[in-house]
Structure 1
Amino acid sequence: MRVIIIGAGEVGYHVAKTLCRNNDIFIIEKDEEICNRARELDVQVIKGNGADVKLLKSADIDKAELIVAVTGVDEVNIVACMASKLLNNKVKTVARVSNPDYIDRPVSVRETVGMSAMICPELSLASEIHHILSIPEAINVEHFVGGKIKMMEFKVSDHNPLIGKKLSESNLPECCLMAAIFRGSELMIPHGDDIILNNDRVVLVGKPEAVEDTRRLFDEHRKNSGKIAVVGGGEVGYYLVKLLSERNLKLTLIEMNKRRSEEIAQTLPNVLVLNGDGTDVVFMKEENIGSMDAVVAVTDSDEKNLLCSLLAKRLGAKKVIARADRPDYAELFEIVGVDVAISPIQATVNEVLKFTMGIGIESLVTIEGEKGRIIELTAKQGSKIINKKLKDVHFPRGAIISAIVRGGEVIIPDGSHIILPEDKVVIFTLPSALTAVEELFS
């Protein structure tokens, strides 16, 4: 596809880095230093304002198939998408928007004002962390097909009853499939003879009640007090605490800025708001942060988030979650002891990827950085995979069909099952197998 990306900061750079392997990418950025960084990629860079109609025309907007506006200014992104749509009414447009006056959910469709999708990375990150905190044993939780399919990722710790067992002996509930195993830096799509080891991370997909039933296998028998601390009262921290406040939890928010602390305390009276530094050892001890079920560090500094998370872990917090604005930091955070590290940028990348694939993807989630992807799509009449038994389909080795939803029925498929037109299909795939999956469903 011909894609124009407006803004080459951290979000734009990583979108371009992901797309440039298989697409024709143009970047418009007004900062010379940021332009120079973008030129390291296999892209064409134009220096200037992405909301400038003349500049859009010089980038051949009439030939573009997708516009991704991800500058740090909401209004520039919105105007750039609206202008692009006026110049080329067939182009798809994605705008990054953070102001709650413009958006109240992680992703919103506003075709009437020229945007195929508006995405709020901060809301997406808060929502993802909220899902993880809802299942104490899990390190990742996602929903597909309107909640009919649930995915959970767990870490296999000491004394887990699955350790040393073959997958075929694991006695997982019906309507539940182990879609992947992460072992160190290796990702495996498991088979019946594969043995589960200590420290593996396993991805389970299936009916919500069946996947929920597996939680007992990963329960470390630690009594939860319902105490959660969030460090950082910016957009992410505020959104997250607001979501969590709807549940019966004992919430603490730590924010360095005194005025911001007072604003949040007035808005959320049921939350204990503390004005302090989450990296201050004395302060964290005084506030008994080590007694928390979870500590979530979501300041706008990756370094502070890392230090705060490791300090909380050292003091005794059961689970620590850290925001990592740079996606390549997330894996490093987890290597040094953070339980879960999440980048808000990935949500934007995932949303853009949906528009670059020609098989009508309705949902796309990346697992463990970008090592694996779970996609939800609808099987179309005429595609190569329909009306055949799965055992007769040359499905790529790096992918597995995790679930089929037909009407209200959820099917965990085996080789005898057939995909029919309009079935909702959930697939776990390695990035290397994605093209082969596209070919089967195109």
Structure 2
Amino acid sequence: MRIVIIGSGKVGYQIATSLSREKHDIVVVDTDQEVLNRLNENIDVLTIRGNGISTKVLEEAGVKNSDLFIAVTNSDEVNMVACITAKQMADIKAIARIRDPEYANELNFIKEKFGIDYIINPEKATAKAIIGHIMNTYSGSVEDFAKGRVRMIEVPVKNGIFMAGKQIKDLIMPKNMLIGAISRDGKIIIPNGEDYILEADTLYIIGMKDSIAEFCNMINMPQLGKVRKVMIVGGGRIGYYLTKFLVDIGISVKLIEQDIDRCKELSDILGDGALILNGDGTNIELLEMEKVNEVDVFISVTGYDEENLLVSLLAKRLGAKKVIAKVSRPNYTSIIETIGVDVAVSPRLITASDILRYIRGERILSVSLLMEGEAEVLELIVGKKSVSVNKTLRDIKFPHGVLVSSIVRQGSVIIPDGNTQLRGGDRVIIFSLQPSIEKTRALFAEPIGGSKDEPYVDSKGFGRSINM
């Protein structure tokens, strides 16, 4: 597929990286030559310096011969105009990043009026992801699949945990769960029973919710109970959306913001639902005065990764039960669990995951990137005429680094083994190393011509348009 991306900031860079790994033909347009040079040094893409709303620049980028147009500059208006221009020039699918809360209630109108196929709001999507972590009663990072029937949890292997130094086949663990992936020294391993668990590994464990809960109790993972009090540092767009969501479900919120004008603006918008405090979230005296030791969840979502990590660690030491930090830089990913932050969220990765899900079509229900996209957790529907239907997992020729971790069939969760047979319409959750993703998807896709010998429906199908 040929894809044109306008804007090569954090989100544009991540999307270009993820899509180029899948061997798409990528063209990136930006006005900053320095950013484009960095892109060229690390990724196999074509770059063009210019304004993304210029028809001349879009012609040079090959919009007329492209399949998908993605506008993710820092300006909502530029993104909208660029998509409109591209749609006027060619029969092309268009995705726009629109972030301003003032546009939030107008997204359906914008899509219908201007023909934009898909709109994503990274800050709103990030706030929703944080809500999911808040509602999880355990201290670690958790992600749900299959409408909450299947749960994945990240478990750092620390000194003293019963798993360290053992082979997976020798572990005594609850039924209906398994280890889907291991993060070790910045790399992802899709394990089998012969692999050893080492100290400093991070395990991605997946299974039925009750089994995951039983395992968390086995390793004495702290449990929060019902969340009643939340403290947020950072009154930007994520802080606003997060506060609004929490207030709407009846949770007490204190939001700390350094800019007095922004505090007044938030107070006007949110009314009496939350307590807006003007101050420095890194100030220990302020945190102690506002009783950070009594909050169930502490969240830092300022514009600076270092500040988010620092203040989250500070809040943890002062007694906050669970801390969540927004982290955008890739080089911080490998140290998050080791320094004591319970959960890290990345708007960049959340946005890339959502766009990948849309591009890959309706049968891809969700995409989660592990370790900066080195591996993915895919939730998809098995095509009724795919080559894998009515075969046992041991008889399917999976590429290297692929594990079918869970199957949901008629509402029931199956943790499969090699003798488990797939059926059309099954919802499967798969761990896959990045180089194997395309071949894995082909194994579960519908054949284009209706015959199992035909080529398979690939990522050009696109998913349904969903507003984030």
**Is the Cα–Cα contact under 8 Å of residues 331 and 341 in structure 1 kept in the other structure?**
no
Whether 2:264 is the aligned partner of 1:272: answer no
Aligned equivalent of 1:283: 286
Aligned equivalent of 2:26: 25
- How many Å apart are 1:28 and its aligned residue? 1.6
Structure 1 counterpart SS, 2:354? helix
Aligned equivalent of 2:2: 2
Whether 2:124 is the aligned partner of 1:126: answer no
Which one of 258, 261, 264 corresponds to residue 260 of structure 2? Answer: 258
Greater per-residue helix proportion: 2
Query: Is 345-354 or 403-412 further displaced after alignment?
Result: 403-412
Aligned-partner residue type, residue 278 of structure 2: N
TM-score (normalizing by structure 1): 0.87
CA distance change for structure 1 residues 170 and 265 in 2, over 3 Å: closer, same or farther? farther
Show the 5 A alignment for 1:208-247: 208-220=209-221, 226-247=228-249
**Is the Cα–Cα contact under 8 Å of residues 138 and 223 in structure 2 kept in the other structure?**
no
Cα distance in 1 for residues equivalent to 2:110 and 2:358: 13
Query: Is 223-232 or 270-279 further displaced after alignment?
Result: 223-232
Q: Percent identity?
A: 37
Cα distance in 2 for residues equivalent to 1:436 and 1:197: 30
Aligned-partner residue type, residue 70 of structure 2: V
Structure 2 counterpart SS, 1:377? strand
CA distance change for structure 1 residues 195 and 137 in 2, over 3 Å: closer, same or farther? farther
- How many Å apart are 1:212 and its aligned residue? 4.0
Query: Is 220-229 or 63-72 further displaced after alignment?
Result: 220-229
Per-residue CA distance 1:67-104 (angstroms, 9 max, x = gap): 11101111221222233233332x23221111234336
- How many Å apart are 1:184 and its aligned residue? 4.5
Show the 5 A alignment for 1:9-408: 9-21=9-21, 22-40=23-41, 41-89=43-91, 91-103=92-104, 110=111, 113-157=114-158, 160=161, 167-168=168-169, 170=171, 172-192=173-193, 194=195, 196=197, 199-220=200-221, 226-247=228-249, 249-266=251-268, 267-355=270-358, 357=360, 360-408=363-411
Cα distance in 2 for residues equivalent to 1:71 and 1:139: 33
Query: Is 119-128 or 183-192 further displaced after alignment?
Result: 183-192
Cα distance in 2 for residues equivalent to 1:71 and 1:317: 36
Cα distance in 2 for residues equivalent to 1:170 and 1:105: 53
Aligned-partner residue type, residue 341 of structure 1: A
- How many Å apart are 1:107 and its aligned residue? 12
- How many Å apart are 1:379 and its aligned residue? 1.8
Structure 2 counterpart SS, 1:341? strand
CA distance change for structure 1 residues 323 and 281 in 2, over 3 Å: closer, same or farther? same
Aligned-partner residue type, residue 367 of structure 2: L
- How many Å apart are 1:62 and its aligned residue? 1.8
Cα distance in 2 for residues equivalent to 1:178 and 1:107: 41
- Give me the CA root mean square deviation: 3.2
- Structure 2: runs of 5+ lacking an equivalent: 445-455, 457-468
CA distance change for structure 1 residues 242 and 172 in 2, over 3 Å: closer, same or farther? farther
Cα distance in 2 for residues equivalent to 1:216 and 1:63: 55
Aligned equivalent of 1:433: 436
**Is the Cα–Cα contact under 8 Å of residues 229 and 296 in structure 1 kept in the other structure?**
yes
Cα distance in 1 for residues equivalent to 2:382 and 2:79: 33
CA distance change for structure 1 residues 172 and 83 in 2, over 3 Å: closer, same or farther? farther
**Is the Cα–Cα contact under 8 Å of residues 18 and 373 in structure 2 kept in the other structure?**
no
**Is the Cα–Cα contact under 8 Å of residues 353 and 367 in structure 2 kept in the other structure?**
yes
Cα distance in 2 for residues equivalent to 1:184 and 1:105: 45
Cα distance in 1 for residues equivalent to 2:224 and 2:117: 45
Per-residue CA distance 1:195-219 (angstroms, 9 max, x = gap): 5555543323233444344432344
- How many Å apart are 1:347 and its aligned residue? 1.5
Question: How many positions carry a matched residue from both structures?
Answer: 441
Cα distance in 1 for residues equivalent to 2:191 and 2:380: 22
CA distance change for structure 1 residues 18 and 275 in 2, over 3 Å: closer, same or farther? same
CA distance change for structure 1 residues 129 and 221 in 2, over 3 Å: closer, same or farther? closer
Aligned-partner residue type, residue 258 of structure 2: M
CA distance change for structure 1 residues 109 and 399 in 2, over 3 Å: closer, same or farther? farther
Aligned-partner residue type, residue 440 of structure 2: V
**Is the Cα–Cα contact under 8 Å of residues 379 and 429 in structure 2 kept in the other structure?**
yes
- How many Å apart are 1:358 and its aligned residue? 7.4
Q: Relative contact order (alpha carbons < 8 A, sep ≥ 6): 1 or 2 greater?
A: 2
Whether 2:427 is the aligned partner of 1:421: answer no
**Is the Cα–Cα contact under 8 Å of residues 108 and 117 in structure 1 kept in the other structure?**
no
Per-residue CA distance 1:131-151 (angstroms, 9 max, x = gap): 112224243222333334332
Aligned-partner residue type, residue 153 of structure 2: M
Cα distance in 1 for residues equivalent to 2:291 and 2:117: 46
CA distance change for structure 1 residues 218 and 232 in 2, over 3 Å: closer, same or farther? farther
- How many Å apart are 1:400 and its aligned residue? 0.6
CA distance change for structure 1 residues 421 and 189 in 2, over 3 Å: closer, same or farther? same
Cα distance in 1 for residues equivalent to 2:277 and 2:219: 33
